[in-house]
Amino acid sequence: MAAAPEWLTHDYIKQALRIHYKDANLQVVQLEVNPALGPGENYGGVLTRVRVEFTLSQQSENMLQQNLIVKTAIDDDELTRELMEPYDIFNREMNLYEEVLPKLTELLKETDGFEPLFPTAVFVDRERSAIIFEDLSVANYVMADRVKRLDKEHVYLILRKLAKMHATSAVFNERNAGNLEKYDRGFFNRYTNAYSGYFVGGLLAAARWMSQDPECASYAQKLFELAPHYMDIGRECFAPLHESVNVLAHGDVWTNNVMVKYDATTGRPVDILLIDFQYSFWGSPTIDLHHFFNTSLREPLRRKEQGDLFKYYHSIFTDTLKKLNYKLNRIPSLHEFQLQAEQKRFFAMHSAVVVQPVMISEDSTDACFNALMNDDERGIRFKNRLYNNPIVQQNLKALMPMFYQKGLLEVNQCC
């Protein structure tokens, strides 16, 4: 479990709150700092939970309390830093929380369907690559169970918010001369192959398991042959679609990057907020849908109802674009949108074969960013264990025939 940063002190929190509350005499009385997540729960950053009691200068007799989440960069070792640097994930997320997400919220207020989409950043520290948020758990937002995955009620809530984020980002980009098109560093991008240890390494681990299982052995050789071409195919898949509605995609939509509020009486989900924008990029909205559907949906929802889910998303996405008078590109019909989804379906295969096994793993042995990204002995051992999971094996046995029939295992495929 990652320890809290050494600089996360009484004085640091005091200064952050003084800036946030615009009160130079705010005083911190008590501070508690604890890790927010355990091993295997998050690979994109270190999350620390902070509980602080403080007084304001004009109300010094009244003790106030605030619960915060401090998100900081992973800094395990020099190799990890080298792998993360080309993605520039923390500068990107800080930019988005300061300069973009609040503007999307304002745009959504121009429609008749306003609702909050994201949490608000309390403090952004560029020197330390840190962002402080209000702890959403105080407002009864929690993470759903990443291992059990999500049912249709959860999925509809997430798709509604995601469609509105996508649509407002397209409008923001149109009104601001292509401002969002600079975000071109998704998981697959033209600047780096730094994550090949994870992506290609995971593909090879899947192939090794498949080669030993009679039901999947015929696909193993396909994956071995695909490996040298994998990063190039991914880059092509992530390229924005020409003369289509591109968006600021979240980039990593899955169970742990969504906070859910449940009804206290019925236990049913009533609201969600999208979090973690480290890998946001400019591209097709269908990339987010493929990733979400193939990492976070329960079975058989993933395998049998994706058509209805695409339709539900499309209705909200296009309705929001129309309400905001989007004109830059043709708003796609449902048929056109489904064709776009097929163009990007490589990412569905990638998310199912390589990513989901990590996300639903319950084995915390070696579960750290270094093991995930590297192809040394420890990294190979970690990735091989992912495919010992019976749920992963069951899912891939059901999905591999479909991926094969769609040509997603071919080395010459074109996204």
- Beta-carbon contacts of 377 under 8 Å, excluding residues fewer than 6 positions away, are none
- Element (DSSP H or E) covering residue 213: none
The sign of the torsion formed by the CA atoms of 152, 47, 34, 69 equals negative
pTM of this prediction? 0.93
Q: What is the Cβ-side half-sphere exposure of residue 222, based on CA atoms within 13 angstroms?
A: 17
What pLDDT shows up at residue 73? 77
- Beta-carbon contacts of 344 under 8 Å, excluding residues fewer than 6 positions away, are 237, 284, 286, 287, 290, 415
What pLDDT shows up at residue 78? 74
If we measure between CA atoms, which residue out of 291, 300, 285 comes closest to residue 256?
291
What pLDDT shows up at residue 230? 97
> At residue 123, what are phi and psi to the nearest 5 degrees?
-155, 135
Tell me the residue ranges of DSSP E strands in 203-324.
Answer: 247-249, 258-262, 269-274, 281-283
If we measure between CA atoms, which residue out of 185, 165, 172, 162 comes closest to residue 99?
172
Angle at the Cα of 27 (from 26 to 28), degrees rounded to 5? Answer: 130
Contact present, 281 and 186 (Cβ < 8 Å): yes
pLDDT > 50? residue 408: yes
Percentage with pLDDT > 90 across the chain:
84
What pLDDT shows up at residue 44? 55
Which token pair is 301? Answer: 């929802």
> At residue 235, what are phi and psi to the nearest 5 degrees?
-60, -40
Which of 74-83, 88-97, 163-172, 331-340 is the least confident region? Answer: 74-83
Which token pair is 67? Answer: 């619960």
pLDDT > 80? residue 61: yes
* C-alpha span between 411 and 407 (Å, rounded): 9
- 9-25 pLDDT per residue, tens: 999 999 999 999 999 99
Please provide the average confidence, as pLDDT, over all residues in the chain: 93
Confidence band for 1, pLDDT divided at 50, 70 and 90: very low
Confidence band for 151, pLDDT divided at 50, 70 and 90: very high
pLDDT > 80? residue 188: yes
- Tell me how many helices (H) and strands (E) the chain has: 17, 10
Contact present, 178 and 329 (Cβ < 8 Å): no
Higher-pLDDT residue of 105 and 76 is: 105
Confidence band for 375, pLDDT divided at 50, 70 and 90: confident
Which token pair is 312? Answer: 């539900």
- Element (DSSP H or E) covering residue 233: helix 230-238
- Beta-carbon contacts of 300 under 8 Å, excluding residues fewer than 6 positions away, are none
Q: What is the largest CA-CA distance in the chain?
A: 72
- 125-137 pLDDT per residue, tens: 999 989 999 999 9
Confidence band for 2, pLDDT divided at 50, 70 and 90: low
In this structure, the chain runs to a length of 415
What pLDDT shows up at residue 224? 98
- Beta-carbon contacts of 248 under 8 Å, excluding residues fewer than 6 positions away, are 96, 100, 165, 166, 169, 172, 173, 180, 183, 280, 281, 282
What mean pLDDT is predicted for residues 163-169?
98
41: DSSP letter = S
What pLDDT shows up at residue 37? 64
Please classify residue 38 by burial: count the beta carbons closer than 10 Å to its beta carbon, then call 0-12 exposed, 13-18 middle and 19+ buried: exposed
pLDDT > 70? residue 190: yes
pLDDT > 60? residue 248: yes
Confidence band for 191, pLDDT divided at 50, 70 and 90: very high
- Element (DSSP H or E) covering residue 66: strand 64-72
Crossing angle (nearest 10°) for helices 196-211 and 377-386: 60
What pLDDT shows up at residue 367? 81
pLDDT > 70? residue 297: yes
